[in-house]
């Protein structure tokens, strides 16, 4: 990145590209004392500072519960025209060569267990034991293997996997675990300990698992520069106050999750929605819900990313979250953002005739910031706010023409192109998880969170493998089948070896002495060792 005049005296500060420690994130960037404040070209476009003035840790200390706006003192001055954004918007992969090599050389099971780790499994086993039920690690692995197996071998009833009818049964399942044992585990498995009880958190029964999983998914860092934030729904009809209803959605009833993903569907952060007053109860209580969700999901990223590196990233969200106050605040921290915005959140609107042709647009920008506000006529007027892109370069988008009964290319502003290109990461992740939906279900709301952990672990394994691999890509189905085979085949092999060892042990006992070398005597109908055989016969 080229240095802009008067921005930073780079010779006085040494940045460590690999450092994400507190010392690096608290560097204060010193402006050039000889700089007058005017740029070389005389344009306002160069006034935007690519580096924040201070670290997010310092900014976070200034948040309070009474803060109603993130940038309450900012005065907007909207003028016609766009603010030029000269930086090229691309999605860069920041994985190192050693990380790529390690990922490609890992098996699907190893990648899966790096997310659904031993720590999570041990926690579930311990929590279940505290609730007076013995659940060994071996049985838990088989239980998980059966759930993954049921994603691709569906039955009308859970009992059909153990049916005596060969047209219904699944020998792969019945040979590794009995029906009664499976049902006992399903009925008694727990995901929390007594010490986890928190009356202020409605999701405390799964909070520890969510936190453990959050730590695992960040083991590769924020390895792509394009990130998106959106909501996810897990289908559930459980009787709980956490259940949400959203009219017009593919999943109308269920638990709502907030997700932060890369553009190709890797989950970087998530949280269970427990009500509008449950998010970051100590700060930002009076801010808009969408702003609180975004800042909560980005908190770890902003805390652990150096000010120099934050400028490499750009984040996208839809009109549920977007407001100018949030876009401006992220810009001041150093993070570029783009999102569609609702008309009722805009005081000075872009006026477009309702009968205007598709592709007609109007644009304004705030002179006191880097925000572009663009409205374009599609099937209806759509508005977008961005500090990452503007109108130029204008590029074609294919839209169906009802008059000509075919798709035609229509020129759209650049901000809409990058939004369409990078916004769908959460939807991609959600689609992968829905393809891995187990046919074995439960009425408990904690069950759907547990199964979503398994689904998200497989999805992240597939995405990170395909990102690091330069050869043939693998599908979600291939990964899931390999994981199920590993957990179920290992148990089947263990059972076989145990049965063989018991049979040999039984046959190798001499009827007269403990010597294991034996010979079968038909007259005695017993095994007799070679020492005793001549004496008795």
- Please say whether the beta carbons of 227 and 315 come within 8 A: yes
**Selection from 291, 211, 226 nearest residue 94 by Cα:** 226
Q: Is residue 405 situated within a structural domain? A: no
User: How much is the pLDDT for 378?
Assistant: 85
Residue partners of 24: CB distance under 8 A and separation at least 6: 15, 16, 306
Q: Rounded distance, CA 55 to CA 26, Å?
A: 5
- Burial per residue of 312-323, b for 16 or more beta-carbon CB atoms within 10 angstroms, e otherwise: bbbbbbbbebbb
Query: Does some domain include residue 102?
Result: yes
- End-to-end Cα spacing for the chain: 95
- Residue-level pLDDT at 215: 95
Q: Is residue 487 part of a domain?
A: yes
Return the axis-axis angle of helices 445-468 and 425-434, rounded to nearest 10°. Answer: 120
What pLDDT, on a 0 to 100 scale, did the predictor assign at position 42? 38
The DSSP code for 161 is G
- Output the pLDDT for position 479: 95
Q: Can you tell me the distance from the alpha carbon of 275 to that of 63, in angstroms, rounded to the nearest whole number? A: 21
DSSP 282: T
pLDDT at 14: 39
> Taking a C-beta distance cutoff of 8 angstroms, is the pair 408, 383 a contact?
no
pLDDT at 137: 92
Domain extent, residue 183, equals 96-198+441-508
Question: Which among 143, 128, 135, 137 has a CA at the least distance from the CA of 177?
Answer: 143
Domain contains 226: no
Q: Which residue has the tokens 């559930």?
A: 236
Query: Got the DSSP string for 415-481?
Result: HHHHHHHHTTHHHHHHHHHHTT--S---S-HHHHHHHHHHHHHHHHHHHHHHHH-SS----HHHHHH
3-state secondary structure of 176: coil
Confidence at residue 172, expressed as pLDDT on a 0 to 100 scale = 92
pLDDT number for residue 534: 56
Q: How high is the pLDDT of residue 13?
A: 33
CA-to-CA dists, residue 527 to 322, 498, 500, 509, 523, angstroms: 81, 21, 17, 7, 10
Tell me the whole-structure pTM to 2 decimals: 0.81
Output the CA–CA distances (angstroms, integers) from residue 242 to 202, 235, 236, in the order listed. Answer: 8, 12, 10
Angle subtended at Cα 281 by Cα 277 and Cα 287, rounded to the nearest 5 degrees:
70
The 3-state secondary structure of 46-69, one letter per residue = HHCCCCCCCCHHHHHHCCCCCCCC
pLDDT for the residue numbered 105: 94
| 240 to 237, 280, 308, 446: CA distances (angstroms) | 9, 21, 44, 10
Q: Does some domain include residue 190? A: yes
Q: Do 62 and 41 form a contact (C-beta atoms < 8 A)?
A: no
From the list 296, 297, 329, 368, the residue with the least C-alpha distance to 70 is 329
Q: How far apart are CA 175 and CA 152, in angstroms?
A: 18
Using CA of residue 44, residue 49, residue 53, residue 56, what is the dihedral sign?
A: positive
Contact 108, 482 (CB under 8 A): yes
Q: How do beta strands 336-340 and 314-317 pair?
A: parallel
Contact (Cβ atoms closer than 8 angstroms) between residue 332 and residue 321 = no
Question: Which helix (H) or strand (E) segment is 232 a member of?
Answer: strand 226-235
Which pLDDT score, from 0 to 100, does residue 23 have? 39
Q: Give the chain's domain count.
A: 1
Q: How far apart are CA 42 and CA 196, in angstroms?
A: 59
CA proximity to 17, closest of 314, 335, 309 = 309
Q: What is the C-alpha separation between 263 and 228, in angstroms, rounded? A: 7
Answer yes or no: is 475 within a domain: yes
The per-residue pLDDT string of the chain (537 residues; one tens digit each, 9 = 90 and over) reads 444 434 433 333 333 444 334 333 343 333 443 433 333 333 444 444 455 667 888 888 888 888 889 888 899 989 888 888 767 788 999 999 999 999 999 999 999 999 999 999 999 999 999 989 999 999 999 999 999 999 999 999 999 999 999 899 999 999 999 999 999 999 999 999 999 999 888 999 999 999 999 999 999 999 999 999 999 999 999 999 999 998 888 889 999 999 999 999 999 999 999 887 666 556 788 888 899 999 999 999 999 998 888 989 999 999 999 999 999 999 999 899 999 999 989 988 888 888 888 888 899 998 888 899 999 988 888 999 999 988 888 888 888 877 778 888 888 999 999 999 999 999 999 999 999 999 999 999 999 999 999 999 999 999 999 999 988 899 999 999 999 999 998 665 555 545 444 444 445 555 556 555 556 665 565 666 656 655 555
Q: Helices marked H in 150-288 — which ranges?
A: 171-174, 179-188, 204-217
pLDDT score at 148: 96
- On the question of a cis peptide bond just before residue 72, with omega within 30 degrees of 0, the verdict is no
Assigned domain for 61 exists: no
289 belongs to a structural domain: no
């Amino acid at each position: 990145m080229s240095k802009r005049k008067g921005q930073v005296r780079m010779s006085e500060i040494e940045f460590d590209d690999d450092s994400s420690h507190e010392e690096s994130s608290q560097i204060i960037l010193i402006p050039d004392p000889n700089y007058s404040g005017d740029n070389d070209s005389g344009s306002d476009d160069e006034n935007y500072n690519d580096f924040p003035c201070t670290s997010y840790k310092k900014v976070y200390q200034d948040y309070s519960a009474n803060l109603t706006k993130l940038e309450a003192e900012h005065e907007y001055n909207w003028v016609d025209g766009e603010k030029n954004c000269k930086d090229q918007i691309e999605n860069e992969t920041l994985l190192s060569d050693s990380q790529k090599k390690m990922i490609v050389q890992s098996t699907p099971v190893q990648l899966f267990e790096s997310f659904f780790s031993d720590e999570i499994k041990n926690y579930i086993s311990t929590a279940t034991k505290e609730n007076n039920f013995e659940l060994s690690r071996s049985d838990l692995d088989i239980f998980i293997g059966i759930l993954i197996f049921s994603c691709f071998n569906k039955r009308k009833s859970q009992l059909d996997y153990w049916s005596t009818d060969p047209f219904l049964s699944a020998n792969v399942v019945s040979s590794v675990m009995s029906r009664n044992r499976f049902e006992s585990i399903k009925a008694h498995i727990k995901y929390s300990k007594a010490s986890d009880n928190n009356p202020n958190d409605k999701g405390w029964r799964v909070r520890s698992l969510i936190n453990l999983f959050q730590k695992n998914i960040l083991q590769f860092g924020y390895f792509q520069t394009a990130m998106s934030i959106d909501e996810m729904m897990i289908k559930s009809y459980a009787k709980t106050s956490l259940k949400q209803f959203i009219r017009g959605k593919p999943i109308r009833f269920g638990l709502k999750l907030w997700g932060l993903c890369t553009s190709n569907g890797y989950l970087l952060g998530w949280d269970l929605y427990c009500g509008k007053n449950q998010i970051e109860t100590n700060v930002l209580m009076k801010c808009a819900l969408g702003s609180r969700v975004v800042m909560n999901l980005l908190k770890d990223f902003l805390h652990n990313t150096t000010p120099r590196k934050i400028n490499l990233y750009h984040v996208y969200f839809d009109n549920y979250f977007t407001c100018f106050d949030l876009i401006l605040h992220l810009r001041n921290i150093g993070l570029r953002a783009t999102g569609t915005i609702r008309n009722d959140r805009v005081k000075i609107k872009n006026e477009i005739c309702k009968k205007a042709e598709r592709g007609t647009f109007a644009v304004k920008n705030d002179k006191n910031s880097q925000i572009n506000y663009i409205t374009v006529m599609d099937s209806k007027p759509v508005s977008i706010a961005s500090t990452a892109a503007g109108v130029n370069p204008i590029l074609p988008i294919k839209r169906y023409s009802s008059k000509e009964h075919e798709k035609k290319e229509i020129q759209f502003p650049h901000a809409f192109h990058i939004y369409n290109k990078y916004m769908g990461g959460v939807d991609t992740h959600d689609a992968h998880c829905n393809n891995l939906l187990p046919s074995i279900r439960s009425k408990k709301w904690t069950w759907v969170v547990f199964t979503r952990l398994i689904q998200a672990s497989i999805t992240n394994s597939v995405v990170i493998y395909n990102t690091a691999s330069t050869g043939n890509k693998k599908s979600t189905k291939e990964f899931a089948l390999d994981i199920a085979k590993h957990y179920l085949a290992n148990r089947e092999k263990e059972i076989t070896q145990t049965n063989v060892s018991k049979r040999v042990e039984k046959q190798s006992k001499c009827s007269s002495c403990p010597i294991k070398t034996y010979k079968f005597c038909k007259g005695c109908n017993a095994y007799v060792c070679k020492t005793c055989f001549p004496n008795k016969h």
